[in-house]
Amino acid sequence: MTRQTVPILPGATLGVLGSGQLGRMFAIAARRMGYRVHTLSPDTGTPTGQVADREWVADYDDLDAIAGFAREVDAVTFEFENVPVAAAESAARLRPVRPRGEVLHTTQNRLREKTALAHHGFPTAAFEHVRDRGALDGALARIGTPAVLKTAGFGYDGKGQTVIREPSEADEAWQSIGATEAVLEAFIDFEREVSVVAARGADGAFAHYGVTENRHRDHVLDVSIPGVQLPGNGSEEAVTIARGIVEALDVVGVLCVEFFVTRDGGLLVNELAPRPHNSGHFSFDASVVSQFEQQVRAVCALPLGSTGLLRPAAMVNLLGDLWQDGEPDWSAALDDPLVKLHLYGKAEARAGRKMGHITAFGDDGEDAARRALAARERLR
Ligand code: AMP
């Protein structure tokens, strides 16, 4: 599909809804290419605001502020998918919003997302809509145990979800997720978790960063190793699914597909993120064109760039827990010349909060992961 879209050229101003580390790295990529960047969120002194030309402070549901922001920029994107759809719609009346608000609407709610995936025939774990406590018993009887109960809206990094091992745990589980509309899904005894970061241009062009293996700790991403090869044609299949999803949702921008790889080598889509993703942070240092620059290019209707990996790399996250005994020893981490440090400029280091990451290079992905983990160890 080719669409004629006028490119938004360097010198123009890009508006980002959201102000975290994803917006920060987007802004760095955009400024490097000569764009100006505005960010809007309810906070000040934010990771994105620190590197933007202008930081707007407003609630996402302040539609007058959103409209004022949109008028001052040439295109709008987001780095946080829980921006209310009304905000994206308000901006879209004035400026191009990429990806479009409909993509936000689908992906900010697990039930809508899973329903859309199933509707298009993409593989997911078996799931059921759980409207209320009464519906949970029937869903448990059909899905079986163990199962995972997840809130339908606003969940990420394992927040708002709990495992139900026995039907007798239903009450406790229902209360623990806040007694709210939910999805019950089959518990997958996966072999590993992987993701594909994909990009789609305004002209329909497709790019992907291959298959990245993701290791989690306490439901939060810990280590990512790009360029892994799944057995058989698993890697090609994962990319085909990712391509199918960005095309079915008509995404212009970057979208990450997270998968479970089952013990028999099957792929199940766990979750979508319609923006650059933590599992693609390696690309900032290790790819010809990073996921952040790719988002700039897609939003600006420029040609997508090469996703080629310059050399084997791995990424580890730096969570707030590392600050427990005071400021980490940054110079010790950098003792290895193949280690690169990224800090997001967050003032307060709370436990579990993503404060930065380390990317390391190596002879292969596992060697790079060892170096990145060793560098993190030296921080303490
Ligand atoms: P989510 O917030 O849905 O991405 O879930 C966070 C993490 O919880 C995933 O990366 C998995 O490690 C785990 N998880 C989520 N859903 C399931 C499931 N159905 N079966 C097994 N583990 C799961």
Average pLDDT over residues 298-326: 97
76 Cα: distance to centroid of ligand 1 (angstroms): 31
Q: Is the CB of 21 under 6 A from ligand 1?
A: no
Backbone phi and psi for residue 275, each to the nearest 5 degrees, phi listed first: -170, 170
Q: Tell me the percentage of the chain whose pLDDT exceeds 70.
A: 98
Q: Is 315 in the same domain as 368?
A: yes
The answer to the question of residue 149 being in a domain is: yes
270 Cα: distance to centroid of ligand 1 (angstroms): 7
Q: Is 208 in the same domain as 161?
A: no
The answer to the question of residue 107 being in a domain is: no
What digits encode the pLDDT tens for the residues 137-193? Answer: 999 999 999 999 999 997 666 679 999 999 999 999 999 999 999 999 999 999 999
Q: Is 339 in the same domain as 197?
A: yes
Average pLDDT over residues 95-104: 97
The answer to the question of residue 106 being in a domain is: no
Q: Is 182 in the same domain as 150?
A: yes
Which CATH number characterizes residue 137's domain? 3.30.1490.20
Residue 288's SS3 state is coil
Mean pLDDT for all residues in the chain: 96
Half-sphere exposure (Cβ direction) of 259: Cα atoms closer than 13 Å: 29
Q: Is 138 in the same domain as 31?
A: no
Nearest atom of ligand 1 to the alpha carbon of 190: 21
The answer to the question of residue 261 being in a domain is: yes
Is the pLDDT at 272 greater than 60? The verdict is yes
Residue 152's SS3 state is coil
**How crowded is residue 16: how many other Cβ atoms within 10 Å of its Cβ?**
31
Residue 193 · residue 238 · CB < 8 Å: no
Which CATH number characterizes residue 201's domain? 3.30.470.20
Q: Is 216 in the same domain as 363?
A: yes
Q: Which of 170, 186, 202 is the last residue of a domain?
A: 186
Q: Is 354 in the same domain as 248?
A: yes
Q: Is 218 in the same domain as 230?
A: yes
DSSP code at position 281: T
Q: Is the CB of 216 under 6 A from ligand 1?
A: yes
Which CATH number characterizes residue 42's domain? 3.40.50.20
Q: Is 236 in the same domain as 374?
A: yes
- What is the predicted pLDDT for the residue at 158? 65
> What is the domain extent for residue 23?
3-97
Average pLDDT over residues 309-327: 97
pTM (predicted TM-score) = 0.96
Q: From CA 275, how far away is CA 279, in angstroms rounded?
A: 11
Q: Which of 148, 164, 186 is the last residue of a domain?
A: 186
Take atom 6 of ligand 1 and give the residue whose Cα is closest: 158
Q: Is 254 in the same domain as 305?
A: yes
Q: Domain total for the chain? A: 3
Q: Is the CB of 219 under 6 A from ligand 1?
A: yes
Q: Is 328 in the same domain as 258?
A: yes
Q: Is 135 in the same domain as 228?
A: no
Q: Which of 149, 171, 186 is the last residue of a domain?
A: 186
CA distances from 316 to 47, 87, 232, 374 (A): 19, 33, 28, 10
187 Cα: distance to centroid of ligand 1 (angstroms): 8
- What is the predicted pLDDT for the residue at 157? 63
